[in-house]
Amino acid sequence: MTTAFDPIDLGGRRLPNRIVMAPMTRSRAYGPGLSPTASTAAYYAQRASAGLIVTEGTQPSAGGQGYPDTPGLHSAEQVAGWRRVTDAVHEAGGRIFVQLMHTGRIGHRSLLPDGLRPVAPSPVRAKGSVWTAAGPQEFEEPAELDESGIARIVAEHAAAARNAVAAGFDGVEVHAANGYLAHQFLAPNTNRRTDGWGGTPEGRARFAAEVVRAVADAIGAERTGLRISPGNTLGDIDEPDPEPAYLALLRALEPVGPGYLHVVESGDRALTLELRKRFPGVLVLNARASGRHNGPQELALVEDGTADMVSYGTLFVANPDLPARLRNGGPYNTADRATYYGGDDRGYTDYPALGG
């Protein structure tokens, strides 16, 4: 029987276990021009025993930022900052992909350079509020992207992927989950377009597919992963019947062949199994059972063949040596939600390792 503690090949690379650190925004890019700091390098290096680390959502361009103090990967300063992170992780024996996250309508113009405003497939405002430097503010109506705007953002992802390689990353995860831009294209309530970028499941899947294709062309398909969250309602998304668009997305990606698919499950195990059946690469599962965070129970998903790898968010915040603890049967530190986003090293680099 395969267990989560067995190695696996991903993109021609051997990972020592099947436990993934899930991408988690920490809003601490206090280095020059929204670049990561020495603390960020220490935080990820502490977690290098993960089979694979996926970084916090990182904007591929200034216009893709939706939260304060999130890092980018579109300037020389940012590449240099991330280089310190990847070096630290590699020296600690780990492997690290960067998650490229364009937040689309989930943002606010006060977070963007002058003259820019949040963009989306259609001018549909999200319910709720966004956290800005001035506190919470209502979401605003996003600007509808035109053909050239879409082409520009796809190209920005490819450029950021090349920067990722220059910064020493082992690969890139395209974020098409959790209500951000690519998910806004996939979902019918946020994509009202009738042109080639909407209207049908294929049309709605096209943007995510084009971004993955552009990234794969830039750095190689084996180094390219994709994160999706069918049916997930984050960011005011409503997908009453998600399957057709996600199957269309996988069909569009058949000729591309990305290395892994990272599924954030929203309770629909049958859909996960359908996606697994149709995706030839590595399937990473973030099971998100309702009412609790992922825990040791999810290791069984590798044993019973539901997934090739499992990812953990919250447990990795608080347990830098999570694979050893999972193997041991615990114990587990508890994550402090108050220090998730922003702040100093408290709740960031000070969670103890076993015996530490």
Q: Least distance in Å: CB of 234 to ligand FMN?
A: 9
Q: CA-CA distance, 221 to 259, in Å (whole number)?
A: 6
Nearer to ligand FMN, 152 or 293 (CB): 293
Nearer to ligand FMN, 46 or 294 (CB): 294
Q: Choose the catalytic residue: 43, 44, 67, 180.
A: 180
Task: Say whether 180 is catalytic.
Answer: yes
Looking at residue 62, what DSSP letter applies?
Answer: G
Nearer to ligand FMN, 178 or 203 (CB): 178
Q: CA-CA distance, 278 to 230, in Å (whole number)?
A: 15
Pairing between β-strand 143-144 and β-strand 119-120 as defined by DSSP bridges: parallel
Q: Least distance in Å: CB of 342 to ligand FMN?
A: 11
Q: Least distance in Å: CB of 69 to ligand FMN?
A: 13
Nearer to ligand FMN, 178 or 306 (CB): 178
Q: Least distance in Å: CB of 21 to ligand FMN?
A: 9
Nearer to ligand FMN, 56 or 170 (CB): 56
Q: Least distance in Å: CB of 200 to ligand FMN?
A: 26
CB burial string 177-194: b at 16+ within 10 A, e below: bbbbbbbbbbbbebbebe
Nearer to ligand FMN, 25 or 190 (CB): 25
- Return the structure tokens found at 311: 């990812």
Amino acid at 348: Y
Which residues contact ligand FMN by CB under 6 A? 22-25, 56-57, 99, 101, 175, 177-178, 227, 264, 286, 288, 293-294, 312-315, 340
Q: Least distance in Å: CB of 339 to ligand FMN?
A: 9
> Which residues are paired to 348 by β-bridges?
none
Handedness of CA 159, 162, 166, 167 (dihedral sign): positive
Mention every residue, 6+ apart, whose C-beta is less than 8 A from residue 48. Answer: 89, 92, 93, 94
Burial class from Cβ neighbours inside 10 Å (0-12, 13-18, 19+) for residue 263 reads buried
For residues 167 and 84, the answer to whether their CB atoms sit within 8 Å is: no
SS3 per residue for 236-265: HCCCCCCHHHHHHHHHHHCCCCCCEEEEEC
Residue of this chain nearest to ligand FMN (CB atom): 313
Q: Least distance in Å: CB of 298 to ligand FMN?
A: 8
DSSP string covering 76-89, please? HHHHHHHHHHHHHH
For residues 154 and 210, the answer to whether their CB atoms sit within 8 Å is: yes
Q: CA-CA distance, 64 to 35, in Å (whole number)?
A: 15
Nearer to ligand FMN, 16 or 295 (CB): 295
Task: Just list the catalytic residues.
Answer: 180
